[in-house]
Structure 1
Amino acid sequence: MSAPERIPSRSVTTAELLTEGELTVRGRIREASNAVLLCDVSYEGREASCVYKPVAGERPLWDFPDGTLAQREVAAFEVSEATGWGLVPTTVLREGPYGEGMCQLWIEPSGEAGGAELLGLVDAEEPGEGWKAVGLAEVGEGRTALLVHADDERLRRLAVLDAVINNADRKGGHLLPAPGGLLYGIDHGVTFNAENKLRTLLWGWAGEKLTPEAVQVLERLRDALGGTLGGRLAELITETEVDATRARVSALLGSGRHPEPSGEWPAIPWPPV
């Protein structure tokens, strides 16, 4: 009599793991302005580390509705997935030990510690080869230096994503280079405002033509925002904010260029890292 056939167990997706898994809080990340908890999550034999940001731990902001930052983080992930670039770690909205919140897969940075090798300050008027100028920054004792970021295609994609989601806080510490040449952006709670609030360190391509790849991605986003993606975003942000997202995509396609600082809002977040 032959042995019974062994049926392989079902593969658990990362989204399922984060949504359905049991969360065990390991500690709090103290540097964050809002409550950010490092957790273990396990589900059907799969385990991972993740970040859990409960809505109850969000600090009120004057220009964003209270209790909406977690939903905006999830919305940023949804748009990132629609681009096909995979720039935001898997992010879901779920119940946790301290109520509803955002749960995001933990990304262990590679040797480029916290994106430090993607940013720099130089005592020069022009950036060196392989770098893009952002602007002058005060470095103490009345001295200034040129703030630069790498002329890196991964960063350029992220700059396009930030323009679409209207990211008001793209700092250096929100860049996570990962093994395999991947780059992720995190901390997307202050996004999707209906007013122009783009603040970023990635102004190096301001006014330059979008790459053909970016144009194709934006065309796909335009179509997706009229269908499934638009419906998904409407569950997370207001209809006015969804309409503003559509308008930003149309404006980018209309100009064919990376946006430039408006002059109506501080262009660079503070502190920049």
Structure 2
Amino acid sequence: MLPSDPAAVELVTCGKIEIEGRLVDASNATLFCGISAEGVDAKCVYKPVSGERALWDFPDGTLAGREVASYLLSEAAGLHLVPPTVYRDGPFGPGMVQLWVDTKDGDDLVDVVAPRDVPAGWRRVLRAMDRFGDPAVLTHSDHPDVCLLAALDIVLNNADRKGGHVLHGTDGRVYGVDHGICLHAEPKLRTVLWGWVGERLPDEAVEALRTLRTAVRGPLGSALAEHLTRAELRALQRRLTDLLADPVFPTPSADWRAIPWPAF
């Protein structure tokens, strides 16, 4: 099942979850599952609140809700960059359930390569040295959807956009996953998608921001209030207002680490 399938939201909301394994590289309990309802089968990710690791700067038990809020914002903006995501009960209690995105092998959108191996048109983020002391470059695709995802991350105040969280689906679309550390009231943007620093946001992103600014003042704001504090909602509104006043990709702040670690 593709994320764009009209039945996907209903499936992740009401389907029966069967745990098949665990994604061991994740810092919080992240379970790979089968999900089925009325003869329709797919795969999903289930992150129970009971498996969330405590963080010093995010309230306990709120990461699943932030994943859902990120999906709601992406959908309301008309960007469809986050797979269908809901908050519901599961085998280990309430948590986030998200449709699994199938990807093509070897079709990464973010990479670390030797300077001479940067693909044509890709954006260079930083230069470094690999573990052997040879030059290396953190780089990412110039795909239009990657650009839109970078813009959405500004709105989400995404504190953990790793390279492995940017997926190129088999449907050709780009999807962002793992949004548990988003939407804090304080600035925390950490991302590998810095390739457009100082450039104007694409027109599609600006239009999406206008749509969101209106939506947040209505029913969307009420839906987000189930997962975010009033201070976080006010900060979201400020980010939208500030970006529309100056629709330019920001420069990394010197006040905090600009790239998550590890980067993948």
What range describes the TM-score normalised by the shorter chain of this pair? over 0.9
**In the alignment, which residue of structure 1 is the partner of 2:9?**
15
**In the alignment, which residue of structure 2 is the partner of 1:6?**
none
Shift of 1:141: 4.1
Please identify, of 79-88 and 65-74, the stretch whose mean Cα deviation from structure 2 is larger: 79-88
Structure 1 position 121 matched with structure 2 position 120:
no
What secondary structure is seen at the aligned counterpart in 1 of 2:94?
A: strand
Shift of 1:127: 6.3
Percent identity, aligned pairs only, is: 49
C-alpha deviations, 1:1-28, integer Å up to 9, x for none? xxxxxxxxxx983222112111111111
Distance in 1, Cα, partners of 2:92 & 2:232: 28
Indicate how the Cα distance of structure 1 residues 139 and 40 shifts in structure 2: closer, same or farther if over 3 A, else same. same
What secondary structure is seen at the aligned counterpart in 1 of 2:192?
A: coil
Please identify, of 89-98 and 145-154, the stretch whose mean Cα deviation from structure 2 is larger: 145-154
**In the alignment, which residue of structure 2 is the partner of 1:87?**
81
**Pairwise mapping of residues 1-273 of structure 1 onto structure 2 (< 5 A)?**
13-113=7-107, 115=108, 117-123=109-115, 129-273=120-264
**TM-score normalized by structure 2?**
0.93
Shift of 1:198: 0.4
What secondary structure is seen at the aligned counterpart in 1 of 2:35?
A: strand
Shift of 1:67: 0.6
List alignment gaps of at least 5 residues for structure 2. Answer: none
Distance in 2, Cα, partners of 1:12 & 1:204: 33
What secondary structure is seen at the aligned counterpart in 2 of 1:181?
A: coil
Q: Is the 8 A contact 1:222 1:249 kept in 2?
A: yes
C-alpha deviations, 1:154-179, integer Å up to 9, x for none? 11000011000000111111111111
Indicate how the Cα distance of structure 1 residues 165 and 140 shifts in structure 2: closer, same or farther if over 3 A, else same. same
Distance in 2, Cα, partners of 1:264 & 1:143: 29
Indicate how the Cα distance of structure 1 residues 26 and 242 shifts in structure 2: closer, same or farther if over 3 A, else same. same
Q: Is the 8 A contact 2:166 2:174 kept in 1?
A: yes
Distance in 1, Cα, partners of 2:199 & 2:106: 27
Structure 1 residue ranges, 4+ long, deviating more than 3 angstroms after superposition:
126-129, 141-144
Letter in 1 for 2:55: L
Larger-Rg structure:
1
Indicate how the Cα distance of structure 1 residues 129 and 24 shifts in structure 2: closer, same or farther if over 3 A, else same. closer
Q: Is the 8 A contact 2:9 2:84 kept in 1?
A: yes
What secondary structure is seen at the aligned counterpart in 2 of 1:179?
A: coil
C-alpha deviations, 1:78-99, integer Å up to 9, x for none? 0111121211110000001100
**TM-score normalized by structure 1?**
0.90
What secondary structure is seen at the aligned counterpart in 1 of 2:148?
A: helix
Shift of 1:192: 0.3
Shift of 1:267: 0.4
Q: CA RMSD in A?
A: 1.8
C-alpha deviations, 1:61-108, integer Å up to 9, x for none? 111001110000000100111121211110000001100000000111
Q: Is the 8 A contact 1:252 1:259 kept in 2?
A: no
What secondary structure is seen at the aligned counterpart in 2 of 1:220?
A: helix
Q: Is the 8 A contact 2:18 2:34 kept in 1?
A: yes
Distance in 1, Cα, partners of 2:224 & 2:128: 36
What secondary structure is seen at the aligned counterpart in 2 of 1:137?
A: strand
